[in-house]
Amino acid sequence: MRDTFVKTLVELARQDSRIVLITGDLGFGVLKPFWEALPNQFINAGIAEQNMTSVAAGMALEGKIVFTYSIGNFPTLRCLEQIRNDCAYHHANVKIVCVGGGFVYGSLGMSHHATEDLAIMRALPDVTVLAPGDLVEAVECTKALVELEGTAYLRLGRGGEKRIHDSLQDFQVGKAICVHDGERVALFSTGAIFEEIQSAEAILKDQLGLVPAVYTFPTVKPIDQEVIRKCARQFDLIVTCEEHNLSGGFGSAVAEVLASEQQHARLLRIGMTDQYCTKVGSQKYLRAQYGMDGVSIAGKILEAIDAR
């Protein structure tokens, strides 16, 4: 996903000299195509993410479209005050890019796990929050960010994510995407956890003969209220899946919409349960440890169906 983002940004930056990419002293193998092609539109700010963000804000207020790039929590939590005060407050055209959302850097420990970022970034006024689920969504999100006015956050996987879509003809920020229709259960996902959704689908079909409807939400903020309300009327159970803490994240955004509705559907939120990850291991291992792998997702859905 990160390679796709860089390739897309190179193509866009060739056409628009206002586009600038700033990195916090990393990603050299990945970012090499950008700086070789467009050295005058690339800055290495060093291991100084707070300064990187303030520099980006200043450049944006002088007419640039600036992408800041780092891993895990470093482009967000480390420089939250600069994002809030320098970028969002001034409606600056700064696009904060995190590569490695969730447990991508699982072997490096909790300091490198991005499991609160969606909640924190969507709490900031006037900040758009995007979390593409596959390469096709990543391309469309990158293109949309160049056109979007104001501050935004783009949460990427690291690479190797399964393709969801062959193509997207009418991508819009703020709109969910129906992967396929189904019955009884609507599965909502955001970000690069979609492979676990596919695994859970297979289990549900095998054990219950159930084919759930599946939607991806590449936009967490603004959330697609129309799709949520429609599914709340149509299905018995809505399930949100995110590689993120449940407090304030994607599931909370869906719950906020449902709270004001007289809906038919129950809501089941799947993610981290208000805790820090105290284990170290691969992304796949940590998903299983914290109940976000396909087996766990399917098991929780089966329990919810039985309870109903």
Rounded to whole angstroms, the Cα distance separating 116 from 77 reads 9
Among 95, 126, 156, which residue terminates a domain? Answer: 156
Mean pLDDT of 225-242: 96
The domain that contains 281 carries what CATH number? 3.40.50.920
Instruction: Note whether 72 and 142 are same-domain residues.
Output: yes
Give the per-residue pLDDT at 308.
Answer: 58
Within a domain: 285: yes
The domain that contains 147 carries what CATH number? 3.40.50.970
- The pTM (predicted TM-score) of the whole model is 0.95
Give the per-residue pLDDT at 12.
Answer: 97
pLDDT in tens, 54-82: 999 999 999 999 999 999 899 999 999 99
Give the per-residue pLDDT at 307.
Answer: 65
Mean pLDDT of 206-222: 96
Instruction: Note whether 72 and 209 are same-domain residues.
Output: no
Within a domain: 121: yes
164 and 193 Cβ atoms separated by less than 8 Å: no
Domain count, the chain: 2
Among 121, 156, 191, which residue terminates a domain? Answer: 156
Q: What is the dihedral of CA 257, 259, 262, 267, to 10 degrees?
A: 80
Instruction: Note whether 146 and 230 are same-domain residues.
Output: no
pLDDT in tens, 15-35: 999 999 999 988 778 899 999
Average model confidence (pLDDT) for the chain? 94
Edge-to-edge strand list for the sheet holding 19-23: 42-44, 19-23, 65-71, 94-99, 151-156, 127-130, 219-221
List the structure tokens of 251.
Answer: 């599931």
Half-sphere exposure of 283 (CA within 13 A, CB side): 22
Instruction: Note whether 193 and 116 are same-domain residues.
Output: no
User: Hey, which residues does 128 pair with through a beta bridge?
Assistant: 152
Within a domain: 140: yes
Instruction: For tokens 């939400």, name the residue.
Output: 217
Within a domain: 166: no
Q: Which domain holds residue 37?
A: 2-156
Instruction: For tokens 């914290």, name the residue.
Output: 290
